[in-house]
Amino acid sequence: MKILLVSPHYPPRFMGGVEVYTQRLARALSARNHAVQIVAVDAIDGASVDGIQVETTLDAGVEVSRLSLPAAQGFRNTFHRPEVERWLRDHLDRHRPDVVHLQSGYLIGDAVLAAASATATPLAVTLHDFWFICPRITLQHPDGRCCTGPDTPAKCAGCLATEQRRYRLPYRLLGPRSSAVVTQLFARLPRSWSAIPNLAADVASRRSRLLGGLATADAILSPSQFVRRQLMEAGFDGSRIEVVRLGVEPVPRAARRAIAENDVRLRLGFLGQIAPHKGVHVLIEAMRYCRERRIELVIHGRFDRDVAYTTRLRQLAEGDPRIVLAGPLERSQVADFFARIDVLAVPSLWYENSPLVILEARAAGRPLLASRLGALVEQVADEQDGLLAEPGNPRAFAAHIDRLAGTPELVDRLASALQPPATVDEEVEALCQVYARLVRTPPERRRVDPLVPRS
């Protein structure tokens, strides 16, 4: 089968969750003798005559078309790129893949939807994030608060407007109420003074086009029920979305480390992106409130990406020998990481979807201490195979850490209840069944009626 995977970006320049997942999927499909191609954006600075530059490279035998695009001009251009749609239609006409699988929608998702529809190419979409309903992608306000959902275009416009200096001060002064209040305030001003009315109309157009385009996909997949519910609350038909859990490479189930009398009673580990929305600072602050001194927090990640945040973390951790700010891990070191820790911490402050590190921890037999937020509630059964804490509350995390350190039998009980996640092979088999279903279904019988007209 000829399969075209489309991702916002692709390794090695980009190593985010979607990018790493797409690379892993490409290699797994290739190992099954499928002919796999990749299309991804490599830069937003192209300057060719038609606005697109393309570099073709090979990654483990997989052909990768890396696009360089000009910077977006205006809000509409952030989600609708006619030049990319034209390039993709030509690409599909030339290569004739049996199926296209879009990973997320960020950057060029709209163009993929339109090109696949125009060429009658079977299309699957995996919802890795909230791009189809949130212009910010993350369902987060600028100050990091989680959004309750894109209730109205005006609400989103108020949130986006805070990126402009004139709206920033009211936002800071009004805090959580700001989006609604600022929107109402500036909506009453002349259009020459306020961009919000026009921005609200643009947001409404964006939502109509993207949800309408998404409904033309032949298969819509989500790694979690949470993302599916968010799309439903935005007005999308939830019956169109299949939940397909992500799989992980088998990780050796590590035996519980032996604890001598003077040893660390609990070693807590963090592995992931070092960024504010991941809540690393919450863990470090929690250590201040822990009564148990024989605990250790080991944090692995790239500390060179966000210098300001890294500086903040180092200041918070200064003088506490229990906190180890370690560097990034190679894939070959992950199994050893899980063998050295007792519990994995996931203190996220945003709506996680399906972090691979959680699945790897489950496979390794390591219970989790996580935020009671988003799809993490699906991944961690509170008091059964892990513990959940109030997001952003260091004292709540500290109480759980002390409890885990003081009752080793609790760690053992939680670990024994862990059920192994799906493997990569199981996930890929499920995806191949989806692909085969799409390929054998005649175009006229595929689901192509949009939820709302595309504008």
Dihedral angle sign, alpha carbons of residues 361, 365, 370, 373: positive
Structurally, how many domains does the chain consist of? Answer: 3
Question: Within this chain, do residues 287 and 366 fall inside the same structural domain, yes or no?
Answer: yes
CA-nearest of 273, 305, 280, 332 to 16 is 273
pTM summary value: 0.88
Residue 143 lies in a domain: no
Residue 8's contacts (CB-CB under 8 Å, 6 or more residues apart) are: 14, 18, 19, 40, 41, 103, 104, 106, 107, 108
Question: Within this chain, do residues 94 and 169 fall inside the same structural domain, yes or no?
Answer: no
Question: Within this chain, do residues 186 and 303 fall inside the same structural domain, yes or no?
Answer: no
Structure letter (DSSP) for residue 258: P
Q: CB of 199 within 8 A of CB of 161?
A: yes
**Per-residue DSSP letters for 328-367?**
---GGGHHHHHHH-SEEEE--SS-----HHHHHHHHHT--
12 upstream amide cis, omega within 30 of 0: yes
Strands 53-59 and 62-68: antiparallel
User: What's the pLDDT score for residue 154?
Assistant: 78
Residue type, 204: A
Q: CB of 67 within 8 A of CB of 39?
A: yes
Residue 258 lies in a domain: no
Question: Within this chain, do residues 350 and 438 fall inside the same structural domain, yes or no?
Answer: no
- pLDDT tens string, the chain, 455 residues long: the values are 999 999 999 999 888 889 989 999 999 999 999 999 999 999 887 555 457 889 999 999 999 999 999 888 888 888 999 999 999 999 999 999 999 999 999 999 999 999 999 999 999 999 999 999 999 898 988 778 898 888 888 788 878 877 766 666 666 666 545 555 655 555 555 554 445 667 888 999 999 999 999 999 999 999 999 999 999 999 999 999 999 999 988 777 877 777 766 788 899 999 999 999 999 999 999 999 999 889 999 999 999 989 999 999 999 999 999 999 998 998 889 999 999 999 999 999 999 998 989 999 999 999 999 999 999 999 999 999 999 999 999 999 999 999 999 999 999 999 999 999 999 999 999 999 999 999 998 776 655 443 333 33
**Token reading at 97:** 């893949």
CA-nearest of 157, 154, 186 to 170 is 186
Strands 295-300 and 219-222: unpaired
CATH number at residue 42: 3.40.50.2000
Q: How far apart (Å, rounded) are the C-alpha atoms in residues 402 and 13?
A: 40
Question: Within this chain, do residues 45 and 179 fall inside the same structural domain, yes or no?
Answer: no
Question: Within this chain, do residues 160 and 59 fall inside the same structural domain, yes or no?
Answer: no
346 forms beta bridges with 370
User: What's the pLDDT score for residue 4?
Assistant: 98
Residue 270 lies in a domain: yes
Question: Within this chain, do residues 190 and 216 fall inside the same structural domain, yes or no?
Answer: no
User: What's the pLDDT score for residue 177?
Assistant: 54
Residue 451 lies in a domain: no
Residue where the block lists tokens 């499909």 = 29
Structure letter (DSSP) for residue 90: H
**Token reading at 92:** 């599909």
Residue 397 lies in a domain: yes
Range of the domain at 394: 266-416
Question: Within this chain, do residues 190 and 81 fall inside the same structural domain, yes or no?
Answer: no
Question: Within this chain, do residues 233 and 308 fall inside the same structural domain, yes or no?
Answer: no
Residue 142 lies in a domain: no
Question: Within this chain, do residues 228 and 322 fall inside the same structural domain, yes or no?
Answer: no
Tell me if residue 55 falls in helix, strand or coil: strand
Question: Within this chain, do residues 118 and 10 fall inside the same structural domain, yes or no?
Answer: yes
Q: How far apart (Å, rounded) are the C-alpha atoms in residues 186 and 307?
A: 35
Residue 435 lies in a domain: yes
Residue 455 lies in a domain: no
Q: Dihedrals φ, ψ of 270, to 5°?
A: -125, 135
CA-nearest of 125, 134, 10 to 62 is 10
Question: Within this chain, do residues 332 and 359 fall inside the same structural domain, yes or no?
Answer: yes
